[in-house]
Every structure is written in C-alpha cells, then in structure tokens.
Amino acid sequence: MAGDELKDFLTKKRVLKAQLTKFKEKIDFEKIDKSEGDLIVDKCKELKKKFEDVFDSIYTACDETVIDSYVEEQESILENIDETYLTVVRKFKTSNCCSSKTEVSDSVKLPKLSLPTFTGNINEWITFKDLFNAAVNNNSSLSDSQRLTYLKLSLKYEAFKIIQSIPVSDSNYKITWNLLEERYSNKREQVFALIKRLMSLQQIQSESTTALLNLVDNINEIIRSLDILKQNVEHFSDTLILYIILQKLDNSSRMWFER
C-alpha cells in the first residue's frame, strides 16, 4: 500500500517537474511586461506550494534511508523556482519585493549542518536533545519548517515512525517537538532506563585494563546522566528499589502497583 502511494507521489513529482520546465522555457525575461511578470510571480508561488506538498507526501511514504536524496532534490527545485521568482521581482521592483524575499528565505533551502541522530533509545535522548538544540533549535536564522525538516533527517527507526506522517510546515514544528518531548522526556522512565543500563553492564570476566576502563567510562556516563536528571547517586535509593520491585512483578501486578 505504502509502495503504491509512493509511486503515485513520484508520478506527481515528475508531472510537476515537466510543468516547471515548460513554464521556464516560455519565459523571455527581456520582453515580459509588468502584467506578465505578475502572472509569473503567481505561477512561481503556485508551483512552489505544489512541490512542497508533494515532497511532504513523499517524505511520509518513502523509506527513511532515501530521505536525504529527496531533500537535496527539493532544495534544487525550489532554488530553481526562487531564481525565476527573484529575477522577475528585481526587474519590476514591485511592492511585493520585500515580502518576496522573505518567502524565498523561508523556502527549504537548507544550510549544511552536522546533525545528531536519534533512534528512539531513551538513554540517548538527553544527549540528542542538547546537540539538536545547539545546532538547530537555537539557530535564529532557521524557520520552523526548516527545523522540522532537520528533525526528520535526524530521527531514525522507532523515533522517526512517531512523526513520519506529520507534514513539514512552520505550524507543525512545535507540535512535533512536543510529541517527542512527551514520549522521551519522561523523567522516571529515563531514570529507569539508566538504572537498567547500569544493572546490565557486563561483568569483567578476566583482568583487563581495557575492559576496566570501558566499565568506568560507562558508569561515569550513567552517573552524569543521572545528575542531569537531578538524581544524585547518593539519594536515589528509593527510585532504585522501586525499579527493582517493578521488574520482579508480573504485568497485572505491576499495573496495580503503579495505580
């Protein structure tokens, strides 16, 4: 089903690309008058919206491993449209000039950023959140639609499935981010995951400096994460006991215990 949907979206994309090519071939920038220029501007806006919609649909239906290639294709197409748009705007210096530049700057022409990745492992959420905030959320030059595109590129596997059906738009970014926060910023679940990780650390079977250093590094990382969650290792015995008790109960008893 998803494969059939993707084929339909890719067909729509090819049709739109053919329309864009024919549209640009008919433009003679030296001879167009003001009324023709206004029509070209309107057509650019229309094509841009259609491309954004079809690419949003493609992102929803395609495999996450090929999203990057579609993002690059979208950037190239929108840049092509913006080039035509700006050429006409500059030629006539219409009153729409200022708003045009604003719209163009908000298009999905993404600057290259080094993005962290998150797969849905709750142990990795705090680190991912800090890195993503530094690279994307705190970048004032980005629009929310660009932030959402970056977020979709950063998420993999389980985490990506949670938000894959949400279309890319300014209004959807905070909704998407809050959805992830609700899922992965559950403090108790984060602490439980860290305790589970601590208790699951492999026992050193024989004397090994490398294994010992690796164990120490893992423990220190867990302790730092607990500190971030304001769970001082000297004072979270109650949480530890609760975790151990819950692991020993059957599902029904656990549900009763947590009510």
Q: Which two tokens stand for residue 109?
A: 């022409």
Q: Are 133 and 154 in contact (CB under 8 A)?
A: no
pLDDT-flagged residues of the chain (< 50): 1, 94-108
Q: What confidence score (pLDDT) does residue 213 get?
A: 80
**Residue 155: strand pairing partners:** 118
- For residues 37 and 44, is the Cβ–Cβ distance under 8 A? no
Q: What is the pLDDT of residue 250?
A: 60
Long-range contacts of 55-60 (CB under 8 A, 24+ apart): 55/13, 55/168, 56/167, 56/168, 56/169, 57/5, 57/9, 57/12, 58/6, 58/9, 58/10, 58/13, 59/152, 59/164, 59/168, 60/164, 60/165, 60/167
User: In angstroms, rounded to a whole number, what is the distance separating the alpha carbons of residues 4 and 10?
Assistant: 10
Indicate yes or no: pTM above 0.75: no
pLDDT value for 29: 82
